[in-house]
Amino acid sequence: MTSLPTPKAGNDPGRPGETGGGLQAGLKNRHLSMIAIGGVIGAGLFVGSSTGIATAGPGILLSYALVGTLVVLVMRMLGEMSVANPTSGSFSAHADRALGRWAGFSIGWLYWFFWVVVLAVEATAGAKILEGWIPAVPQWGWALIVMVVLTATNLVSVGSYGEFEFWFAGIKVVAIGAFIVVGALAVFGVLPGVHSDKAGLSNLTAHGGFLPHGPGAILTGVLLVVFSFMGSEIPTLAASEAEDPQQAVTKATNSIIWRIAVFYLGSIFVVICLIPWNDPSLEKKGSYVAALDSLGIAHAGQIMNFIVLASVLSCLNSGLYTASRMAFSLGQRGDAPKSFARTTRRGVPLAAIIVSVLFGFLAVFFNYKFPDSVFLFLVNSSGAVAIFVWLVICFSQLRMRKIIQREAPEKLTVKMWLYPYLTWATTALMLAVLGYMLTDTEHNGRTTVSLSLLVAAVVVAIALVKQKLSRDRTAEAVTDGEADQAPAKVGA
């Protein structure tokens, strides 16, 4: 197996032959801290949670708890590997070393594909909000403006990305925190000037029980909320451009439990206690807007639109950064064009950013021109990538633990709990979720998994062919070298 390199702060260790000056340590500790905190708060929490609540009732809390537990365990595994070897390729680079070049190639490109599709989804969502405020600019115009502005910030330096993300994530964190405090005061009837007939802990059981649709609804809820957790792994990709990579990853790994408990479970708990799960306004207005409206808070819809817009811009900003750094890492390892691994004097992977945003623009075009065919295929075929990434992290950690113990045991400062038993249990649970998704036709689970598996199979096939060709070329070079040396040996 490849030995573990010793990284310098801010420089991606990568493979020999890196082109350009490499990435630079432009992210400050406050940037990484806010990226880690805000990374688990996606726009899906604000927009998509109402569907989950309507499907599972108060039992959606168990769905969030189950997925949150999976994310905590997976992040622990990823943290173990990333603290030992911080790299812009994160889990893709770890898979490369632990499972083989084909694995790093496959999951790296699938992850890149996921984020360039997300760019189009989020750009469209942001454009809808902005068009509502300023209808003089068409929706496609707003999507273009948003993409151009955030591309420009990513092209300047990693520090500008970090600064933008610091403020975007800050808005999300403050908004969720304020919502939880105000909502909790209302639930216990101590919010000054507000009296709600709907609010109370009784909402947890009063309308058909805690599981009104039965225990099976918990797994259905898992299918609806699992993808809103994607992004928790971003701090491990960004760590290679931090002032202190090991400390940044360690903090992000250790804080994931309270972040999920507060921002996901805490806020959803407050929503359910403020308004009955079967209230029609939940799906009509969205869970957070409906909850605020139930308290008679003026302009609740516009307040939430502003917060959702900040979440969308944060997701766009991080999506572009993440896609470009994965492309950079793939280029660095010879799994993408070498130009992807070249950086500017400011340490920005120019080609990787440009190519990622061009595919994002193309996906935006498909969203407006062919929303029910091409773009729907793109969304569905990237939908299960989150679970594929988590599975690869599990299998990589099983191998990487042994490599680290053998070659650099002093780097094993963050350890996965109950290794290897908890790793295998996490893997089994995720495979069970994928299996359940294949039986789900009501919420598009079967289509999503089937198309995602199809795309994954194509990418893996390309990776295996590429690996075989590389081995054949190496074998030919060795044979030619031996043939060239043969006359000299005879002459001697």
Distance CA 360, CA 357 (A): 5
Residue 440 main-chain phi, psi, to 5 deg: -90, 115
Alpha carbons 149 and 135: distance in angstroms, whole number: 19
| Residue 468, CA distances (Å) to 51, 456, 462, 474 in order | 46, 18, 10, 10
What pLDDT was estimated at residue 266? 93
Buried b (16+ CB within 10 A) or exposed e, 152-161: ebbbebbbbb
DSSP E strand stretches across 79-161:
none
**How many CB atoms lie under 10 A from the CB of residue 478?**
10
- Cis ω on the peptide bond leading into residue 420 (within 30° of 0)? yes
pLDDT grade, residue 488 (50/70/90)?
A: low
The pLDDT of residue 481: 66
Domains (range + CATH), the chain: 29-474 (1.20.1740.10)
Percent of residues in the chain assigned helix, strand, coil, to nearest 5: 75, 0, 25
pLDDT, average across residues 372-394: 90
| pLDDT(219) > 70 | yes
Structure tokens at 264: 């996901």
User: DSSP assignment, residue 5?
Assistant: P
Count of CA atoms in the C-beta half-sphere (13 A) of 140:
9
Amino acid at 90: S
pLDDT for residue 487: 57
With cut-offs at 50, 70 and 90, classify the pLDDT of residue 125: confident
Dump pLDDT digits (tens) for 83-121.
Answer: 998 888 899 999 999 999 999 999 999 999 999 998 888
pTM score, whole prediction: 0.88
